[in-house]
Amino acid sequence: MMYGNTSEPRFDVEQPTQFWRVQSSTPTNAGQWKYTVIAVEPRVGDDPEDLTWDDVTQTGFLNAINLLEQGNTSTVQMGITISTLPGTYELKPIPDDAIVSGTYLSAQNVDFIVLSWPNQFDGACT
């Protein structure tokens, strides 16, 4: 896939958006994490409420990032000024075992998954 005025591909998309199960997260920057994910496929019976997810592979993909975390800093996360939060509230990563939509990308010989999940704040007022 070619973007802009270049003869070299900047991003290659292996396939359209698919689904991933989050296995773990590691903090990288303020309000940002790197995720280990595994590809999953939906399975459903006669009723969409019977939806389940089957792992596609046995090993996780180590380089996954959440696009919605990319603008987070030590002072502003998800558009909220951190210093205005009461008590112990803090931004949390995507929970383990969450099913998230994402896309496989390759840029400058680095393969990674771009996820899309709105992180949540958790904590207590003190």
Whose tokens are 């995507």? That residue is 94
Torsion region of 84: left, alpha or beta (phi above 0 gives left; psi -120 to 50 gives alpha): alpha
| Cα–Cα distance measured from residue 80 to residue 43, given in angstroms and rounded to the nearest whole number | 37
Distance CA 102, CA 38 (A): 11
The yes-or-no verdict on residue 14 having pLDDT over 80 is no
Q: Per residue in 54-77, pLDDT tens? A: 888 766 777 899 999 999 999 999
Of 126 and 97, the one with more pLDDT: 97
Give the confidence band of 20 by pLDDT, cuts at 50, 70, 90. Answer: very high
The domain ranges of the chain are 12-116
Tell me the backbone φ, ψ of residue 41, rounded to 5 degrees.
-120, 140
Q: Which pLDDT score, from 0 to 100, does residue 25 have?
A: 96
* Euclidean distance between CA atoms 44 and 51, whole angstroms: 5
Of 3-7, 56-60, 66-70, 119-123, the range with the lowest mean pLDDT is 3-7
Beta-carbon contacts of 71 under 8 Å, excluding residues fewer than 6 positions away, are none
Query: Does pLDDT of 2 surpass 70?
Result: no
pLDDT score of 75: 96
Amino acid (one-letter) located at 108:
Q
